Structure formats: C-alpha cells, structure tokens
Amino acid sequence: MPAQPRYLEDIEPGQTVEFGDRLVTAEEIVAFARDYDPQPFHLDEAAGARTHFGGLVASGWHTAAMVMRMLVDEYLHPETSLGSPGLDELRWHRPVRPGDRLRVRVTTLEVRRSQSKPSIGIVRQRLEALNQDGEVVMSHVGMGMVRARTLPADMAAGGGA
C-alpha cells in the first residue's frame, strides 16, 4: 500500500507518476494462461515460436492484471480510491515476454468533482505499461473515482445547490 492517500485535491491535470518494477516469468505467464487464456502462444515457448509472436508471450489480460497489482501496491489507497467504472482505448502495443520488467506511468488528463456527490470526483488518466527498454507495451485511458479531502468552500459553509 502506498504511504500516502491521494485525495481528489492532490491530483492535477498534467501530473505524471511512474512506479513499479515487476519481473515477468515464464512460469507466471503459463499459470495465468492455463486458468484464463489457454492459447498456444501463452502456454508454450515452442508453440509460440511457430506463430508471429516468435515465442512465449503473456496474455494481454495478464499484462493488465500485473499492472493492476502495481497500481494497488504503489498508487491506489483504500482511503481514497473508490473503484473504476471502466476505461477506454485499451491497446496492446507489443508482446510481453519472460524476463521483461514492467513499470507503470500514469498521466492525469482530467479531474472533475461530482456535481451530485461533491465528496468524490472522477479522474481521467492515461496509463502506460512500459518494459525495461522504455517501450510502451500496453496503454489505456481509465476513469477512477476518488474521495475528496474537503467539500468546496461554498458547500462546506452550507451554500451551493
């Protein structure tokens, strides 16, 4: 868990945060694939070598899951993070292979306080997963619901609609 919760007021458009360092292993690629995506190129190096991937590659959903783990460990905080309604523009740009090390870059695009429930807000953020060579392997534009530290001055004073 990250040391400090990030409240809505702590997040600003243009902010970029980078974190994470997750080694991808063949064992984990295969274990995820056996449960959730048992296609040949996710299960077996030799089978992968016979495809356009040229070897064993992680399921795109496995990459998304590894990124989620880095978000939970180093970015989201249970006090402030209230889940996500979804995301847009999910793209798998490059294969993720055994031995790769992944990290995450989050760039805030938009911060909006809820009109109907001003104690929370929605942030829109571009997320990029990078490999050890700095190449983007996956990206998406996600929405997150975030708790605010305080109400706007006019509302805290009993004003507002």
Binding site for its own copies (CB under 8 A): 32, 35-40, 52, 59-61, 64-66, 68-69, 72, 76, 78, 81-82, 84-92, 140
Q: Count CB neighbours of 31 within 10 A.
A: 12
CB of 139: closest distance to its own copies in angstroms?
9
| Interaxial angle between packed helices 26-36 and 60-74, expressed in degrees from 0 to 180 and rounded to the nearest 10 | 110
CB of 89: closest distance to its own copies in angstroms?
6
Nearer to its own copies, 22 or 113 (CB): 22
Nearer to its own copies, 17 or 90 (CB): 90
CB of 135: closest distance to its own copies in angstroms?
16
Q: Which string of DSSP letters, residue by residue, matches 127-152?
A: EEEE-TTS-EEEEEEEEEEEE-SS--
Nearer to its own copies, 59 or 131 (CB): 59
SS3 call for 8: helix
